[in-house]
Structure 1
Amino acid sequence: MPIQLDRGPDPLATAPLIPETPGPDRGTHRHALLSVTLPTALAACGGGGGGSSSTPNPPVVVPGPQLSAAEAGRFLSQATLGYSRADLNALMASSYSDWITAQFKAPQSLSHVDWLKANGYADASYINSTAGLDNTIWRKFISSGDPLRQRMVLALSEMCVVSVLGINAQWRQFSVANYLDVLEAHAFGNYRTLLQQITLSPAMGYYLTYRGNLKANAATGSQPDENYARELMQLFTIGLVQLNADGSVKTGSNGQPLESYQQADVSGLARVFTGWNLDVAGLSTPYPPDVQWRPMVNTASRYETGSKSFLGTTIAAGGSATEALNTALDTLFQHPNLPPFVGRQLIQRLVTSNPSAAYVARVAAAFANNGSGVRGDLQAVLRAVLLDAEARDATLAASPSYGKLREPVVRFLNWARAFGANSPSGQWAVGDTSDPASRLGQSPMRSGSVFNFFRPGYVPPGTALTTQGLTGPEFQITNESSVAGYINWMQRVVAGSSIGDVRADYSSLLPLAANAGDLLQEINQVLAGSQLSAATLATLQSALNTLPSGTQAQLLNRIHAALVLVLAAPEYIAQK
Structure 2
Amino acid sequence: MLDTEPTVVPYADAPEVETPSRMPGEILVSTLALAACGGGGSTPSGGSTGSSPPPPPAPPPSPPPPTISDTQASRFLAQSAMGSSRADIAEVVSMGYAGWLDAQFAKPRGQTLWDYLVAQGYNNATYINSEAGFDPSMWRALLAEPDQLRQRVATALLEIMVVGISGLNVSWRQFALAAYVDVLFDNAFGNFRTLLDKITTNAGMATFLTFLGNKKANAATGAEPDENYARELMQLFTLGLRQLNADGTEKTPAQETYVPADVSGLARVFTGLTLDSADNSTPDRLRRPLIFNAGQHETGVSTFLGATVPAGTDGAGAVKIALDTIFAHPNVGPFVSRQLIQRLVTSNPSAAYVGRVAAVFANNGSGTRGDLKATVRALLLDDEARTVPTGANAGKLREPVMRLTGWARAFGATSASNAWPIGDTSSQNNRLGESMGRSPSVFNWWRPGYVPPATTLSAAGLVAPEFQVTNEVSTIAYINFMQTLIQNGMGDFKADYTAITAKAADSAALVDEVNIIVAAGQLSAATIATIRSAVDSIAAANTANRVYTAILLTMASPDYLTLR
TM-score (norm 1): 0.88
| Mapped pair 1:243 → 2:235 | no
Q: Distance in 1 between matches of 2:385 and 2:519?
A: 17
Matches within 5 A, 1:51-450: 61-62=19-20, 65-252=66-253, 257-280=254-277, 285-394=279-388, 397-450=389-442
Query: Pick from 492, 511, 522: which aligns with 2:502?
Result: 511
Corresponding residue for residue 458 of structure 1: 450
* Number of corresponding residues: 516
Contact 2:204 2:286 in 1 (8 A): yes
Instruction: Measure, in 2, the Cα distance between the counterparts of 1:263 and 1:286.
Output: 36
Counterpart-to-counterpart distance in 2, 1:269 and 1:546: 65
SS in 1 for 2:246: coil
Which of 551, 554, 559 aligns to 1:563? It is 551
- AA partner of residue 225 (structure 1): D
CA deviations on 1:141-170 (whole Å, 9 max, x unpaired) are: 011100000001110000000000100100
Aligned to 1:527: 518
2:310 corresponds to which letter in structure 1? A
Q: Return the offset for 1:549.
A: 1.9
Q: Name the SS for the 1:314 alignment partner.
A: strand
Structure 2 residue 477 is the aligned partner of structure 1 residue 485: yes
Counterparts of 1:235 and 1:60 in 2: how far apart (Å)?
37
Output the CA distance in 1 between the equivalents of 2:239 and 2:230. Answer: 12
Question: How big is the shift at 1:74?
Answer: 0.8
Paired residue type of 1:444: M
Percent same amino acid among aligned pairs?
52
Q: Segments of 4+ in structure 1 off by > 6 A?
A: none
2:371, 2:494 → 1: CA distance? 38
Please report how far the alpha carbon of residue 65 of structure 1 lies from its aligned counterpart in structure 2 after TM superposition: 3.7
Distance in 2 (CA, whole Å) between partners of 1:320 and 1:287 is 30
Conserved? CA contact 1:189–1:379, under 8 Å: yes
**Aligned equivalent of 1:20:** none
Distance in 1, matches of 2:2 and 2:529, equals 23
Show the counterpart of 1:48.
none
Of 478-487 and 86-95, the range deviating more from structure 2:
86-95
1:19 corresponds to which residue? none
2:8 is the alignment partner of 1:37: yes
Matched, 1:538 2:529: yes
Counterpart-to-counterpart distance in 2, 1:306 and 1:77: 50
- One-letter code of the match for 1:61? T
- 1:276–1:297 contact (8 Å) kept in structure 2: yes
SS at match of 2:299: coil
> In the alignment, what sits opposite 1:4?
none
Q: Distance in 2 between matches of 1:373 and 1:38?
A: 42
Compute the displacement of 1:61 (Å): 3.4
Whole-Å separation in 2 of the counterparts to 1:289 and 1:351 = 37
What is the CA-CA distance between 1:496 and the residue it aligns to?
Answer: 1.6
Structure possessing the higher radius of gyration over alpha carbons: 2
Q: Is the 8 A contact 1:421 1:504 kept in 2?
A: yes
Tell me the SS of whatever aligns to 1:309.
strand
Q: Is the 8 A contact 2:361 2:371 kept in 1?
A: yes
Cα distance in 2 for residues equivalent to 1:109 and 1:82: 17
CA RMSD of aligned residues (A): 1.6
8 Å Cα contact 2:4-2:475 kept in structure 1: no
| 2:483 partner amino acid | Q
Instruction: Name the amino acid aligned to 1:561.
Output: T
1:251, distance to aligned residue in structure 2 (A): 2.1
Return the alpha-carbon distance in structure 2 between the equivalents of residues 297 and 66 of structure 1: 53
Q: Distance in 2 between matches of 1:346 and 1:38?
A: 24
Give the counterpart letter for 1:449 in structure 2. Answer: S
CA distance in 2, matches of 1:154, 1:527: 20
- Is the 1:31–1:479 contact (alpha carbons within 8 Å) kept by the matching residues of 2? no
Work out the CA distance in 1 between the residues paired with 2:528 and 2:94: 26
Distance in 2, Cα, partners of 1:61 & 1:444: 37
Q: Secondary structure at the match of 1:525?
A: helix
Aligned equivalents of 1:31, 1:272: Cα separation in 2: 49
Alignment partner of 2:430: what SS? coil
Would the aligned equivalents of 1:61 and 1:392 in 2 still touch at CA under 8 Å? no
TM-score (norm 2): 0.90
The aligned counterpart of 2:49 is none
User: Cα 1:380–1:491, aligned 2, differ >3 Å: closer, same or farther?
Assistant: same
Does the aligned pair in 2 maintain the 1:268–1:310 contact within 8 Å?
yes
Structure 2 CA distance for partners of 1:59 and 1:328, relative to 1, 3 Å: farther
Aligned-partner SS, 1:36: coil
Partner of 1:55: none
Separation of aligned partners in 2, 1:377 and 1:340: 13
Counterparts of 2:66 and 2:379, CA distance in 1: 22
Paired residues of 1:352 and 1:403 also in contact (CA < 8 A): yes
How far 1:35 moved relative to its partner? 4.1
* Aligned mates of 2:338, 2:548 — CA distance in 1: 37
Give 1:262's aligned amino acid.
Answer: V
In 2: Cα distance, 1:324 partner to 1:286 partner: 29
**Pair 60,378 (structure 1): closer, same or farther in 2 beyond 3 Å:** farther
**Partner amino acid, structure 1, of 2:185:** E
CA distance in 2, matches of 1:510, 1:472: 36
Q: Aligned partners of 2:129 and 2:331: how far apart in 1?
A: 40
Contact 2:505 2:543 in 1 (8 A): yes
Cα distance in structure 1, aligned partners of 2:202 and 2:539: 56
Residue in structure 2 matching 1:501, options 492, 499, 510: 492
